[in-house]
């Protein structure tokens, strides 16, 4: 019983130490969602994938306009309607369409394109605003 108590204390401490605090979390902004799918030229290349993700993360961390972001890759498709042909996905939220336009023109965004465009063969973008 004593070991379980110690384990619980250790787990709570770990969650409190490593979990995001509310003040550092960015909340999803539903005013404008920017969803991007990337198909890399060499999707099996660990080096290309690592280079792409590092460049993308560097850019997103430096962006003045991106509120929240999510970088993902396709899981094993469980249904026929799931398109898992892309290599990476990116979802970014903005407070407005104007902020998203400024993001497109940001130096850090243009630098990301310069650094990484040689890695992909195809990019598709879906932008969305909320239903009113």
The model's pLDDT over 24-52, given as tens digits with 9 standing for 90+, comes to 446 676 889 999 999 999 999 999 999 99
pTM of the model as a whole: 0.77
End-to-end CA distance of the chain: 55
pLDDT of residue 23: 45
What pLDDT sits at residue 78?
A: 78
**Do the Cβ atoms of 94 and 34 come closer than 8 Å?**
yes
% of the chain beyond a pLDDT of 90? 65
Q: Give pLDDT, residue 80.
A: 85
Q: Give the residue ranges of the chain where pLDDT is below 70.
A: 1-27, 29
């Amino acid at each position: 019983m004593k070991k379980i108590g110690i384990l619980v204390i250790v787990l709570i401490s770990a969650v409190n130490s490593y979990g995001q605090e509310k003040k550092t979390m960015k909340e999803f902004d539903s005013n404008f969602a920017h969803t991007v799918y990337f198909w890399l030229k060499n999707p099996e290349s660990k080096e290309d994938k690592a280079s792409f993700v590092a460049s993308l993360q560097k850019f997103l961390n430096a962006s003045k306009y991106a509120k929240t972001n999510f970088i993902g890759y396709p899981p094993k498709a469980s249904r026929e309607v799931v398109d898992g042909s892309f290599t990476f996905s990116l979802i970014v939220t903005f407070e407005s369409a104007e902020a998203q336009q400024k993001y497109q023109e940001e130096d850090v965004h243009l630098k990301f394109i310069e650094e990484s465009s040689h890695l992909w063969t195809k990019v598709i973008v879906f932008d969305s605003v909320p239903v009113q």
